[in-house]
């Protein structure tokens, strides 16, 4: 499969992680050699899956003009699928697959043991580059929360806040991965780490007094705006509430569970890469049938000249015939 990657080091590192997880079952399968995929909406490819699982209205930038160019769009779950349908994207072009980047983390999570001496809290803000990309104010808690984190680490016993800023805001460009497993709680704002933490069972604390108004103003109708407007998860309106939440025993509550089943369904947890394979394979079959002018003629010309795809082709032909027979049988039953 051809991959249209990002240019900067930060995006190359993300692409490497996504390729290892998203394309784990695909990249060595020769039947997909003529298909292309990208993780960046402005790039050209047959298939698109965003480099982040957050919404941020990223997929619809420039009035969604890029989305219409893709033949298949992969999203974490029904929430984003329905949003894209409502802005005019054909439902048949959108498939829900979860978030493959988390597949290896679910395996790591099984062996994680909390430290009984103190809580490890991971602060993972999104980048603050939005102020250079059209946002009037930043939707990131970085650097605004930094002074509070410094104070808490110096004065609050039993709590250790680990800082992992967005790769765009630091010299080392490796994405945050294992740290999400090795923590008790997460402090986040509007990035993918919100959903990644929740999927891994980590309660998320939102510093509303720093970012809420900016998020609602800058990314209206996004999943992040929905989270803040409906107070999904743990929200602190000031530093005192923030500290109280850090001291409490937090759990993933019902509001988060219900939202996540729509945004990133738990059925994909740990098997998202396989879901991607299934959806791309399904797309490949459908496209093969469209290219094949006479699907019932098993001796059609050029399609079978490719020896690599010959075995697959017979299987696809049989599937098509079975589907047609099933539809005919059903039609007779109902009518």
Helical segments of the chain, H only: 9-22, 78-86, 103-109, 146-155, 178-181, 192-199, 208-218, 223-229, 239-247, 254-263, 272-291, 307-334
- Residue 311 confidence (pLDDT): 57
List of long-range contacts for 253-257, beta carbons under 8 Å, 24+ apart: 255/230, 255/231, 256/198, 256/204, 256/232
Tokens linked to 319: 């599937």
Report how far residue 64's alpha carbon sits from residue 131's, in angstroms, rounded to the nearest whole number. 21
- Residue 286 confidence (pLDDT): 85
pLDDT tens, residue by residue, 96-154? 999 999 999 999 999 999 999 999 999 999 977 554 455 568 899 999 999 999 999 99
Residues of the chain under the 70 pLDDT cut: 6-14, 129-136, 166-167, 169-176, 291-317, 320, 323-335
Q: Full-prediction pTM beyond 0.75? A: yes
Q: Which residues pair with 123 in a beta bridge?
A: 163, 187
- Give the Å distances, CA to CA, from 101 to 5, 19, 84, 111: 16, 9, 22, 18
Whole-angstrom Cα Rg for the chain: 23
Report how far residue 176's alpha carbon sits from residue 165's, in angstroms, rounded to the nearest whole number. 8
- Residue 16 confidence (pLDDT): 78
Q: Which residues pair with 207 in a beta bridge?
A: 236
Contact 67, 93 (CB under 8 A): no
Contact 274, 25 (CB under 8 A): yes
211: CB partners within 8 A, 6+ apart: 138, 139, 140, 141, 144, 189, 190
CATH code: domain 104-263 is 3.40.50
Domain map (residue ranges) of the chain: 2-99+270-274, 104-263, 298-330
């Amino acid at each position: 499969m051809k991959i249209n990657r990002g240019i900067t080091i930060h995006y190359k590192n993300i692409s490497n992680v996504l390729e290892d997880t998203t394309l784990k079952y695909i990249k060595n399968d020769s039947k997909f050699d003529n298909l292309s995929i990208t993780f960046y909406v402005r790039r050209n490819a047959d298939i698109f899956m965003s480099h982040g699982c957050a919404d941020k209205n990223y997929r619809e930038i420039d009035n969604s003009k890029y989305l219409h160019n893709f033949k298949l769009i992969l999203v974490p779950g029904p929430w984003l699928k329905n949003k894209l349908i409502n802005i005019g994207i054909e439902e048949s072009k959108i498939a829900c697959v979860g978030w493959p980047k988390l597949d290896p983390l679910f395996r790591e999570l099984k062996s994680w043991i909390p430290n009984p001496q103190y809580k490890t809290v991971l602060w993972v803000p999104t980048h603050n580059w939005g102020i250079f990309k059209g946002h009037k104010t930043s939707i990131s808690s970085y650097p605004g929360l930094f002074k509070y984190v410094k104070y808490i680490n110096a004065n609050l016993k039993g709590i250790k806040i680990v800082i992992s800023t967005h790769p765009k805001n630091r010299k080392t460009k490796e994405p945050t991965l294992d740290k999400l497993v090795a923590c008790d709680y997460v402090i986040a704002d509007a990035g993918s780490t919100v959903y990644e933490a929740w999927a891994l069972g980590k309660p998320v604390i939102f510093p509303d007094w720093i970012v809420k108004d900016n998020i609602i103003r800058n990314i209206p109708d996004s999943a992040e705006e929905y989270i803040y407007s409906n107070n999904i998860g743990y929200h602190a309106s000031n530093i005192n509430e923030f500290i109280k939440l850090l001291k409490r025993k937090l759990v993933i509550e019902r509001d988060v569970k219900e939202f996540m089943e729509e945004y990133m369904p738990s059925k994909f947890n740990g098997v998202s890469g396989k879901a991607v394979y299934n959806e791309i394979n399904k797309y490949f079959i459908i496209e093969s049938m469209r290219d094949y002018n006479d699907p019932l003629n098993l001796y059609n010309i050029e399609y079978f000249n490719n020896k690599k795809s010959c075995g697959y082709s017979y299987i696809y032909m049989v599937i098509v015939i079975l589907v047609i027979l099933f539809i005919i049988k059903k039609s007779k039953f109902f009518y």
